[in-house]
Structure 1
Amino acid sequence: MKSIVILISGRGSNMEAIVQADIPGVRIAAVISNRPKAGGLQFAAGRGIHTEVVDHTAFESRALFDQSLAEAIDRHAPDLVVLAGFMRVLTDGFVRRYEGRMINIHPSLLPAFGGLATHRRAIDAGVRFHGATVHFVTPTLDDGPIVIQAAVPVLPDDTEETLAERVLVEEHRIYPQAVRWIAEDRVRLENGRAVVLAAPESGCSINPALEC
């Protein structure tokens, strides 16, 4: 059984997707937020998951907040830390503390469009495809070995909102899948890349399809 801690800042719809996936071999030990009024806390508590708040506004520095957050996480001894709409830039020391066992989802096909306003920037750039990426977290923002990606077409009449909606559907598909692969020890880090190993019963190889 792999234990995970999920960090959120708001509604936590990707956290909801992971919880609702009921992934075999995964125990969600806690959902922690940096915002006391994050909507996802109520969802998690309603499903019997331990919730906790480490309010970033109560700390004088980012480093002090990160230290307190790490202490809250470590009380649950997680195998994996999952960032699900956690809207804080983490210090290098915090990231290194969980190196190789902390993942994030970003609403673009990394390395394109790191940072904010990804959907607007994709439309403005005229790209034909946009999407979402699950990756291991490194000290460089929106960087790190890629576990899985999903792409959607950018339609001629897309707005920022319509494109975001379609990407979010894919986020809710691929994030539970990434957690499942990691729980099954099917993700291996090699030379700065994440290699996904096929299940013995499947015909998949590297970067298997979602159903593998």
Structure 2
Amino acid sequence: MVDITPTPADLKINPRNLRFHQDGGMPDRWWLNGDPVATAFFNALSCTFPKGEKFFMDSVRHYRGAVGPELQQQIAAFIAQEAVHSREHVTFNKLASDHGYPVDILEARTGHVLRAVRQRSPVRQLAATCALEHFTAILAHQFLKSGASDLAGAPKETVKLWSWHAMEEIEHKSVTFDTFLSVTKHMSRPDATRCGYWQ
């Protein structure tokens, strides 16, 4: 039996319409201490976000009318947060592209993968979203736990962007899983679990 810790009753998800890198903020191609590998890691991760966040929003939005009022509000806040994340990473990616990073290639690869996933049933798309949001929350937790040390030496605006994004990922991490539990409650747990598999 899987032990599922309930979402805190006082969970509040607060969309924040913040903007970063309005005046540039990435003066060098290798903006993370001149390190091309470290810079490429964050650039590549950011390249997955605009299309990835859109996929997450769509997979949860599909079930918004099938859950209770409280979860509906959380889904609306989740979508609002993810929309702003996407917008800000479009800005970040444009700066990386201006410095010669192959953003278009990585965004195209992300799109190719997501087009395949979108051929699956809505509940399987939601299961995939649960898994990806879980991994994202793990990365976000470790990033913040370290005091954003992975970005030590990066431009201040870049540190602010990634810290804000990480904080909001932790804030809304339960929404997709709670939605999955709600829409699969008529299934046996083994059947619901199998939604996460592609075979």
Q: Could you state the TM-score of these two structures normalised by the residue count of structure 2? A: 0.28
Of structures 1 and 2, the one with the larger relative CO (CA 8 A, separation 6+) is 2
Larger proportion of strand: 1
Q: Could you state the TM-score of these two structures normalised by the residue count of structure 1? A: 0.27
